[in-house]
Amino acid sequence: MVKTSTTVTYLLGIRWGVGGAIAQKFAQEGFYVVLTTRKKANASALQQAIKDQGGESDIVELDPVSENSISKAFSQIRDEAGEPEVLVYNAGYIEGRDLPPEKELLEHIPLEMFETAQHVSSRGPFLVAKGKSYHL
């Protein structure tokens, strides 16, 4: 990652689907896109697609439910790419989406799966906003 004079966008929880489309659109509009995901391999194909389309991006590992991970990732991104003009929180929790319909009923969902989904959906955006606000 190289500091850039181009406008920087942080995209959290990006792989394909809606998040991938958002990342590609920002890159097409000339933004330097920082893709964050728990594992770099999750976004490597998207990074290549952005490059193939003439855009610039980098991948930084970030766990959206870990305050330490968010702080470390934001510090790395700021040092290497600069402050973002845009921050998109697109993280979601996908475990259980491939369960057979009869196992998707509430009675079959373990508490741990629910808690993880809540952490990603509620705690994650709070921690990201808190981490970003230190530098406003």
Identify the CA nearest to 20 among candidates 121, 28, 67: 28
> Which strands sit side by side in the sheet containing 8-12, from one edge to the other?
56-61, 32-37, 8-12, 84-89
116 inside domain: yes
Flag whether pLDDT at 91 surpasses 80: yes
Q: How confident is the model at residue 4 (pLDDT cuts 50, 70, 90)?
A: low
For residue range 28-64, list pLDDT tens digits in order. Answer: 999 999 999 989 999 999 999 999 999 999 999 998 8
Q: Tell me how long the chain is.
A: 136
Residue 28 lies in a domain: yes
- How many helices (H) and strands (E) would you count in the chain? 5, 4
Q: Which residue has the tokens 């369960």?
A: 99
Helix (H, G, I), strand (E, B) or coil at 37: strand
Note whether 32 and 7 are within 8 A (CB). yes
Q: Can you give the CATH number for the domain in which 53 is found?
A: 3.40.50.720
Report d(CA 62, CA 8) in Å as an integer.
Answer: 17
Boundaries of domain holding 50: 8-133
**93 — phi, psi (to 5°)?**
-120, 120
pLDDT in tens, 101-131: 776 777 777 888 888 888 888 888 888 888 7
- 1 in a structural domain: no
Residue at 3 is within a domain: no
What pTM, to 2 d.p., does this model score?
A: 0.79
Q: Per the structure, how many domains does the chain have?
A: 1
Tokens 């896109």 locate to 33
Give CA separation, 134 vs 17, 32, 60, 74, 131, in Å.
31, 22, 20, 11, 6
